[in-house]
Structure 1
Amino acid sequence: MTVLSVRHLTIDIPTGDGHVHAARDVSFDVAAEELFGIAGESGSGKSVLSQAIMGLLPGAVISGEIIFEGKNLLDLPARDMQRLRGNRIAMISQDPLSSLHPFYTVGAQIVEAIRTHRQVSEAEALREAVDILGRVGIHDPDKRVHDYPHQFSGGMRQRVMIAMAIVLRPALLIADEPTTALDVTVQAQIIALLNEMRRELGTAIIMVTHDLELLSSIADHAMVMYAGNRMESGPGDAVLTAPAHPYTLGLLRSSPSHETRGALPSIPGQPPSLLLEQKACAFAPRCAAAMDICRKERPPLRSFADGTRSLCWLEAKASDTPAALPAAPDQAPALAQDSDIVVKVSDVRLTYGGRSLFGKNINLEVLKGVSLELPRGRTLGIVGESGCGKSTLARIIAGLLPPTSGDVTIEGQSVLGLDRRDWIEMRKRVQMVFQDPFGSLNPRRRVGSIIGGPFRIQKVAHGAARKNKVRELMEIVGLNPEHYNRFPSEFSGGQRQRIGIARALALNPSIIIFDEPVSALDVSIQAQILNLIARLQRELGLSYLFISHDLAVVRHVSSEILVMKAGQVVERGETETLYHHPQHPYTRELLAAADPHYRKSGGLADPLSSGATP
């Protein structure tokens, strides 16, 4: 049974620069119990489609049909749409921090969602909130239900958002990057939970994601979007293993796998401005297989025997066309690495203290004697589940949080006793890219001012010279320089992450701490960023601390990996040694959750089949 049917949907959003053509003639169907995946680069129109279905695009000019349970949502009065939203149609937003109210506990917010649509007592709603928090992997849910959003890690906040979306058991769940901020074990639990919802409740799920490896393993049907166009659609295994469109093929080849080495092939150039009306193939300027007709006329929609449909002039599938393969960049020889240690962390401990409501002293030990060394010109990857202390350790090293005890030295100088003036000077050498791009950007400042901030503070460049440097940085990280005067709220989640990376690269620091730097990026830009930071490391001898839950990315960029669990280092070793011969059971569990092929070849138990419930 078809739950949602979208027909010839076209979306134009008025802005100060003109109308943004966010979607153009998009059609697709989603059946009950089906997981329908939508992939594509940032700004391709994925999230706009989701917002249109939810009725969250006030002021937009929308034509076409969105049929849900026999009703055209575009014709519904606002009050009727409000009754559906959150009850029959729910959404998991991409940015959990901005979607949770900072003044209310997570339990109060889930209870409000329940009682808005159902006549239940507050006590019963609270019991349901505790139960759903436990099911999405929040430990001690009966206690954490009374905590505020800022008391949760990024991954835990994402789980809270998932709990709020599924607690009412909707008929249609729209998941916009639902596992972006989650570590691999919790990601596996969430996917298992969504599959359980599909089977038991008949829930239809639309998953918007840039993780093509994940999508290929779970999607029944998939649609790939580019510049507001549906470029390809069809059965998930066909679209994501033998793509018909050159754009889909380029995305797949840009994804780092668990065996990827060297530079990643990325799609050259940038997506076109959506302010311009597209009269030919939108992908032609970046396509390796483009022909003259591609640049002159809009391509037809071709159908293939395996069920895929492609908006392309190529008569054969792109995966069967050698000319459609994007070329891999040459891998420059690695820079000779020095043996000196640029970052040394010695027995760092951090304990939070406070009083409970009953006056009892409470001490929470977050870091329990962590030590590490980072040699010059190398990358140390740090992995572990959300809440294990990775980001807290990063903030201590960056001087943003004082430890309870221990020491941190950067290039031989202890950072614990530095005053504000000394830290301004130290900031030329150490920079950080934060996990939450929106929370780390001032919403009242324009992007040009944000990226140019380091130049202004350090008095490096002024006037036109500063503006030129900022535009160069924007282009390097895949942002359109013409967006210099936009505010962070006018960018997608992936684009905001690129703003943070550009700001960190501004002063060419010797040490950069990357806290989930590519988790919000689509695969093509992810490949460009990973190639960029690798090139800068080779050319400038930069040293990186690379924190991520994506073990394929960590393995690709790191020479060494450090595994953390519950505030402690449980294993450290050279990347390939640790991957092929892990010593700690927790390391083996992480690897098994991240790579099914590893689990099968190594004879490891599936973390979801060992009796653990999400």
Structure 2
Amino acid sequence: MSILEVSGLVVDIPTEDGDVHAVQDVSFDVREGEFFGIVGESGSGKSVLVQSVMGLIPQAKTSGTVRFQGADLLALDADGLRRKRGKEISMIFQDPLSSLHPQYTVGWQIVEQIRAHERVTKEAAKARAIELLEKVRIPDAAARFDAYPHQFSGGMRQRVMIAMSLSLGPAMIIADEPTTALDSTVQAQILDLLAEMRADLGATVLMISHDLGVLARVADRVMVMYGGRRMEIGESGNVLGSPAHPYTAGLLRSSSFNSAPGTPLVPIPGRTPSLLAPPAGCVFQSRCPDASEICGSRPPVRRYDDGTEALCWLESAPSEPEAPVSELPGLQPREDDTIVEVSDLSLAFPQRRGAPKTVLDGISLAVRRGETLGLVGESGCGKTTLARTIAGLIRQTAGTVRFDGADTARLSAEEWRAQRRKVQVVFQDPFGSLNPKRRVGSIIGDPFRIHRAASGAERLRRVQELMELVGLNPEHYNRFPSQFSGGQRQRIGIARAIALRPELVILDEPVSALDVSIQAQVLNLLDELQRELGLTYLFISHDLAVVRHVCDRIAVMEGGRIIELGDAEEISRNPEQPFTRKLLSAAAPEIPRIPSARELVATFEGSLRDAGRAAS
């Protein structure tokens, strides 16, 4: 029995440039009690679809039907939708910090939601809120009831959001990228918690994610979206194990866990189509390796005997393009060629009350020239602090950091200025690290200006060379960061970091927020730049599949200490420390590729709504 039935949904969002056709004729159903996943690249229409279901896009022009437990949500007025939201359908947003009000305690916010929908006393609502916080495993829930959002870690804030979503006993929970920025252990805890709530309370879960490994782990069925359309839908194991649509196959090829370590990844070429004027035929045609002339017309829905449906003209299995082969030789790291040597490094931050908090505790580490050293661990273990200390952005309490043999603590201001040319940082959030009011040409040209390395026409020429080197159109140097995609903004940050040909580049979660295809492009770019320019990377990430793929060695951090260090493949296969084994076991497993013997049973031309009617 279906709890949610979406038929022929169309969502157009008015903008100054015209209507954005964000969702185009999408039909699907979510069965009662199941875990339903929606996957696709940024801009594919996933979030717009679920937000329109919840009535959270007030200016949107919608058509079609969205039936929840028999009632058409699109036909309800504002009061009717308000009664449904929270009490019958709840939502967990991607960023819990921005979803929770910073000026109110987490307990008050849960109580406020309960009392907005039910006539209960403050005492009864508080008791229920504490019980929910205990259920989602918030330690010492009664005491933490009066804590503010900033006093919780990212994983704990997400637990609070889950508690809030469960506060009214909803029949369905919609989770929009709930684990994107979380470490593998916290991510596993959140997924296990959602599964537990589903089992205990009988709730249905609809989750949006761009992480195929996460959905393969938890979803019963998966819907793949691209360009506002439903490209493929079916049982999770069938869709992700043996995709019927070339786009799904392209997403899987882009994933690092499906490629041998050190080999180039296979990103989907090209760019997503403009939804202001989407193509009349297949929206994936311009990027599809299997495209033919017929793809210029609207593709049919093909249904197979295993229940999989694909919006595609292709009758055979998607092709498998070969991975690119790098023609540039890599610089082979040598143990006796150390670029950074950290010895007994400690760092403690003073606190208003109590003793100073130790963040780094006696760390010793060597980074070899030309290698990629991975730094992994849970949030708060000191990864970023260690990287910033090596970069000279934070001064250590004790110990030494030697760069090219020189003790950085003894450098004068002028020597530090020269040192900045040798060490650069690429930050996690490409948009937050770029000034939105400055043009990209100026941002990339800053190192030349600050270090007086080039000016005028020479600076412009070198900026455009850098843009071309990282795969950006040099003609776009006058654009602002907001006019670029997430992957392009990360390329801008990389171009700025390599402008002065540094010896060491610190990469702090450079691909964690990117879609798998864009992630593959950025990782391939980093590999090419390392080979071409002889760069050394310190690579911080919580994605163990990415770290294993790109790194020569891995250092595992726990509680401000390095507890394990060694060859990336060896640590991945035979970890010595219990904590390392815990990290690896929490990571999303590889998606098994299953050769399919599926057979075509029906083809439906016209709209997906027609296909749905035929099926019923």
* Residues 1:330 and 2:360 aligned together: no
Shift of 1:585: 1.5
Segment drifting more, 475-484 vs 364-373: 475-484
Distance 2:359 2:143 in 1: 17
Contact 1:515–1:546 (Cα < 8 Å) also in 2: yes
Match of 1:348 in 2: 345
Contact 2:345–2:364 (Cα < 8 Å) also in 1: yes
Secondary structure of residue in 2 paired with 1:252: helix
Match of 2:424 in 1: 431
Compared CA separation, residues 111 and 486, structure 1 to 2 (3 A): farther
TM-score by length of 2: 0.85
Match of 1:175 in 2: 175
Shift of 1:28: 1.1
Distance 1:73 1:122 in 2: 31
Secondary structure of residue in 1 paired with 2:238: helix
Contact 1:13–1:22 (Cα < 8 Å) also in 2: yes
- 1:239-261, Cα deviation, whole Å (9 max, x unpaired): 11111111111111211127622
Match of 1:326, as an amino acid?
A: P
Compared CA separation, residues 546 and 151, structure 1 to 2 (3 A): farther
Contact 1:475–1:481 (Cα < 8 Å) also in 2: no
Segment drifting more, 153-162 vs 48-57: 153-162
Compared CA separation, residues 445 and 65, structure 1 to 2 (3 A): farther
* Residues 1:383 and 2:376 aligned together: yes
Match of 1:99 in 2: 99
- 1:489-544, Cα deviation, whole Å (9 max, x unpaired): x8776676565455545554332222222221111111111111111111111111
Match of 1:611 in 2: none
- 1:541-582, Cα deviation, whole Å (9 max, x unpaired): 111111112211111111111111112111111112222222
Q: Which of the numbers 540, 558, 561 marks the counterpart of 1:565?
A: 558
Match of 1:612 in 2: none
Rg larger in structure: 2
Contact 1:474–1:481 (Cα < 8 Å) also in 2: no
Secondary structure of residue in 2 paired with 1:392: helix
- 1:99-156, Cα deviation, whole Å (9 max, x unpaired): 3444445455445444444455556655655555565565565666555545555555
**Percentage of pairs with the same residue:** 55
Match of 2:5 in 1: 5
Match of 2:214 in 1: 214
Compared CA separation, residues 587 and 169, structure 1 to 2 (3 A): same
* Residues 1:554 and 2:547 aligned together: yes
Match of 2:388 in 1: 395
Shift of 1:168: 4.1
Match of 1:304 in 2: 304
Match of 1:291 in 2: 292
Contact 1:39–1:223 (Cα < 8 Å) also in 2: yes
Match of 2:307, as an amino acid?
A: G
Distance 1:219 1:392 in 2: 36
Compared CA separation, residues 434 and 173, structure 1 to 2 (3 A): farther
Match of 1:527 in 2: 520
Compared CA separation, residues 77 and 308, structure 1 to 2 (3 A): same
Distance 1:558 1:317 in 2: 33
Compared CA separation, residues 114 and 424, structure 1 to 2 (3 A): farther
Give matches, 1:141-152, under 5 Å: 148-150=148-150, 152=152
Secondary structure of residue in 1 paired with 2:279: coil
Distance 2:132 2:444 in 1: 40
Contact 2:252–2:258 (Cα < 8 Å) also in 1: no
TM-score by length of 1: 0.85
Contact 1:267–1:286 (Cα < 8 Å) also in 2: yes
Secondary structure of residue in 2 paired with 1:592: helix
Match of 2:32 in 1: 32
Secondary structure of residue in 2 paired with 1:531: helix
Q: Which of the numbers 513, 535, 538 marks the counterpart of 2:531?
A: 538
Match of 1:21, as an amino acid?
A: H
- 1:368-422, Cα deviation, whole Å (9 max, x unpaired): 2222111111111111122222222223233333333333333344444667776
In structure 2, the gaps of 5 or more residues are 592-616
Match of 2:366, as an amino acid?
A: E
Give matches, 1:232-271, under 5 Å: 232-257=232-257, 260-261=260-261, 262-271=263-272
Match of 1:230 in 2: 230
Contact 1:452–1:470 (Cα < 8 Å) also in 2: no
Distance 1:442 1:157 in 2: 28
Contact 1:501–1:517 (Cα < 8 Å) also in 2: no
Give matches, 1:92-131, under 5 Å: 92-119=92-119
Match of 1:335, as an amino acid?
A: L
Distance 1:306 1:484 in 2: 51
Distance 2:56 2:457 in 1: 39
Match of 1:327, as an amino acid?
A: E
Match of 2:239, as an amino acid?
A: V
Segment drifting more, 149-158 vs 16-25: 149-158
Aligned length in residues: 587
Distance 2:66 2:41 in 1: 23
Contact 2:10–2:23 (Cα < 8 Å) also in 1: yes
Contact 2:258–2:590 (Cα < 8 Å) also in 1: no
RMSD: 3.4
Match of 2:581 in 1: 588
Compared CA separation, residues 417 and 406, structure 1 to 2 (3 A): same
Shift of 1:189: 1.7
Compared CA separation, residues 472 and 222, structure 1 to 2 (3 A): farther
